[in-house]
Structure 1
Amino acid sequence: MSLTSSKRDQAEEAMRRSWFPVARLVDLDKPVAATLLGVKLVVYRDGSGQVVVQSRRCPHRGGDLSIGEVHPASIACPYHGWEFASSDGACSRVPSLADQSRIPPKARIRTYPAVSRFGHVWTVLEEPVGPMYDPEEWQDADLVWLAADPIDSPVGVGVTIENFRDVAHFPFVHKVSMGPTPEVVEALDVKRDGVDVWMYRPLNAGTGEWANDGDCMMKYHCIAPGLASITYEYQKYGVRVVAGFPSPVSYEHVKIFWGVANAADYSGASLAENLRVEEMVYLEDVPIVENLDPREIPWDAEVEEFSVPADMFTLNYRRCFLELMRRTRESVDAG
């Protein structure tokens, strides 16, 4: 990657080497179509239960494998029935051939890594620059996840993460879900390490949907480029989580995969109820965020922006993303 390439190009390259969700696990009773940074994918569970992410286009005549048939160890194109192995994408059967040894030797579809985590299937388009997300605060929490309906949003990953983690918009956008909240933002307790940024903030239950839950400590955590979470620690109930994983359909268009989780011993509201309340928050954001200009963080300073102390968390997220770009550049240059 050239040192003179634009920051936008560097951001996109970093995302090609980062993990993103492409489907919910609960939807894999049949193949699922996905698009990640313009790359068309099919996600499915083969007959052995293995979760698979592969190219969606059949290399014979362009059939769409996401409407194909899953076999014990392959997926078949709906157009001519060509089968491709779930293990490595090699063509394993051509029904029109009497002699299967004559299968074109180069006929195959690309197979991508597939990781099942947080109720979703994750993949990466190129050699990853970092490991799959595994936030330390969740590792011993024995979390039970519920994946929400994804939300389509015509903005980029960075803008989406910043919205999820911005606290100054609460009094203006979340009047229903949160009730009246102070407009003045206190000094934020933020720390950053590499591509991770954390913020610790007490929640006053207020008069919104959370009023009956009582106060708690919110532990915000973002990992560049695409994980944003809040881990709620209630004295009354225990630990619950909401997390967003915006996945870039293209550079300025995301599909927001997200979900909620309760610790196994959480004694508060059910997963379904927590999802209902958190979805209210998400849907309040949508009409505001989809009209932002520009539609992604202006990495190349193409527009002028001004910041104040209330932006401390999102500014540190940008530093995380820049660090990810640096690591990606070094990885690519090292070859």
Structure 2
Amino acid sequence: MDNPVIDADTASSWHAVSACEDLIRSGKVDTRLLGQQICVEHVKDQRFRASTKAVGGSAGHGQGRDLPLLSRYGFIWVCMGAPAADLFELKEYALPGRRNVNAGTFGVRVSAARAVENFLDMGHFAFVHPGYLGDEPFTEIVEYNVEVTGDQREILATECKSFRSRRSDADTAGSNIVYTYRVMSPFCSLLTMPSQVDPSQSDVVAIFAQPMEQESCRVHMLLSVVDNLNNDGSIRRFQQTIFGQDKPILENQVPRRLPLDPRSETPIRADKSGIVYRRWLQQKGVTFGVIPAGS
């Protein structure tokens, strides 16, 4: 497709494009980012390189433009322009006694913003993920707090209470969970919840949505957990089951881009984070993968 006009915020942001372990195993990943073909290569040890595809050529091997690159939190991050800031902080990742698991990468035929909005929506837990994230009749979402941080860089939702049927494959009893949601950049979000093993610590589930095209993305998933009950394979399978339930729901949404017009917002309690998220994208001037208000 023709390269779209990319808004300044999206062009200057960091985007996850591959898990480090996947790139080291394959040596090279050809993928798309913001409507452009890019190549990410494992050079040596923990050294990596990213470049655009040259006109009439192939990505990599010096034929395109070198791109800013970071290796952090087990993923490769690329910026298509000049980075406006360093990557967000994820303090839990470096804490001792923690399992950091790459839960997989999933192609989805919706925009990255659509994927993030779905991640923020607690209202679908009981209906889309019965026996996992919720169950009927536990469908009520009680009032919770959502705010944009003072520097306007992030969104934070706290006191997000929901009944959860299972925490993992090893869990057999449901419980009420208090989640905290954080949107670190337009296409990256995470939730935290008290660890099942040590409630004084938090488990983290993060999604890093790679905006490939205006209406397609890849969702990279990271879990950072305190867990001596499940092996990495079990942790990964559980999360992949959850996303497998989400994917057909996401891909049936119309339009595939996220509308930002206030008239498209549904003023219900469960959608409170989504409403703040859409307004925040509009204020930041994000246009990639969304339908701006007034369009």
Q: Sort the Cα spacing of 1:207 and 1:33 in 2 relative to 1 into closer, same or farther, 3 A.
A: closer
User: Where does 1:242-281 land on structure 2 (aligned, <5 Å)?
Assistant: 242-263=205-226, 266-281=227-242
Offset from partner CA, 1:223-246 (integer Å, 9 cap, x none): 231111112213643432211111
Name the CA distance, whole Å, in 2 between partners of 1:234 and 1:202: 15
Select which of 11, 26, 33 maps to 1:16.
11
State the match for 2:293 in structure 1.
none
State the match for 1:36 in structure 2.
33
Q: Is the 8 A contact 1:195 1:320 kept in 2?
A: no
Name the CA distance, whole Å, in 2 between partners of 1:47 and 1:223: 30
* Cα shift at 1:262: 2.2
Residues 1:117 and 2:72 aligned together: yes
Name the CA distance, whole Å, in 2 between partners of 1:118 and 1:323: 28
Name the CA distance, whole Å, in 1 between partners of 2:164 and 2:253: 29
State the match for 2:195 in structure 1.
234
Name the CA distance, whole Å, in 1 between partners of 2:166 and 2:196: 19
* Runs of 5+ unmatched residues, structure 2: 287-295
Q: Secondary structure of 2:104's partner?
A: coil
Paired residues, number: 272
Q: Is the 8 A contact 1:146 1:271 kept in 2?
A: yes
Q: Secondary structure of 1:175's partner?
A: coil
Q: Is the 8 A contact 1:115 1:121 kept in 2?
A: yes
Counterpart of 2:214 in structure 1: which amino acid?
Answer: Y
Counterpart of 1:257 in structure 2: which amino acid?
Answer: H
Q: Secondary structure of 1:178's partner?
A: coil
Q: Sort the Cα spacing of 1:290 and 1:150 in 2 relative to 1 into closer, same or farther, 3 A.
A: same
Name the CA distance, whole Å, in 1 between partners of 2:67 and 2:28: 15
Q: Sort the Cα spacing of 1:170 and 1:215 in 2 relative to 1 into closer, same or farther, 3 A.
A: closer
Q: Secondary structure of 1:282's partner?
A: helix
State the match for 1:322 in structure 2.
282
- TM-score, with length taken from structure 1: 0.72
Counterpart of 1:223 in structure 2: which amino acid?
Answer: M
Name the CA distance, whole Å, in 1 between partners of 2:255 and 2:268: 19
Offset from partner CA, 1:90-127 (integer Å, 9 cap, x none): xxxxxxxxxxxxxxxxxx53111111122210011011
Name the CA distance, whole Å, in 2 between partners of 1:144 and 1:323: 36
Residues 1:197 and 2:162 aligned together: no
Counterpart of 2:145 in structure 1: which amino acid?
Answer: D
Select which of 141, 144, 164 maps to 1:188.
144
User: Where does 1:94-243 land on structure 2 (aligned, <5 Å)?
Assistant: 108-135=63-90, 137-138=91-92, 141-142=95-96, 143-181=98-136, 182-193=138-149, 194-200=152-158, 201-206=160-165, 210-212=171-173, 216-234=177-195, 236-237=197-198, 238-243=201-206
Q: Secondary structure of 1:27's partner?
A: helix
* Cα shift at 1:213: 7.7
Name the CA distance, whole Å, in 1 between partners of 2:190 and 2:164: 18
Computing the radius of gyration from Cα coordinates, the structure with the larger value is 1
Name the CA distance, whole Å, in 2 between partners of 1:216 and 1:140: 24
Offset from partner CA, 1:53-94 (integer Å, 9 cap, x none): 11234x6x62454xxxxxxxxx4xxxxxxxx3xxxxxxxxxx
Q: Is the 8 A contact 1:35 1:41 kept in 2?
A: yes
Percent of aligned pairs with the same amino acid: 21
Offset from partner CA, 1:173-217 (integer Å, 9 cap, x none): 111423414222111232321131222324544368554485553
Q: Is the 8 A contact 1:261 1:271 kept in 2?
A: no
State the match for 1:68 in structure 2.
none
- TM-score, with length taken from structure 2: 0.81
Q: Is the 8 A contact 1:216 1:234 kept in 2?
A: no
Name the CA distance, whole Å, in 2 between partners of 1:260 and 1:126: 28
Q: Sort the Cα spacing of 1:123 and 1:276 in 2 relative to 1 into closer, same or farther, 3 A.
A: same
Q: Sort the Cα spacing of 1:180 and 1:208 in 2 relative to 1 into closer, same or farther, 3 A.
A: farther
Name the CA distance, whole Å, in 2 between partners of 1:187 and 1:298: 24
Offset from partner CA, 1:256-278 (integer Å, 9 cap, x none): 11121224xx4443333222222
Name the CA distance, whole Å, in 1 between partners of 2:193 and 2:117: 19
Name the CA distance, whole Å, in 1 between partners of 2:255 and 2:196: 41
Counterpart of 1:171 in structure 2: which amino acid?
Answer: A
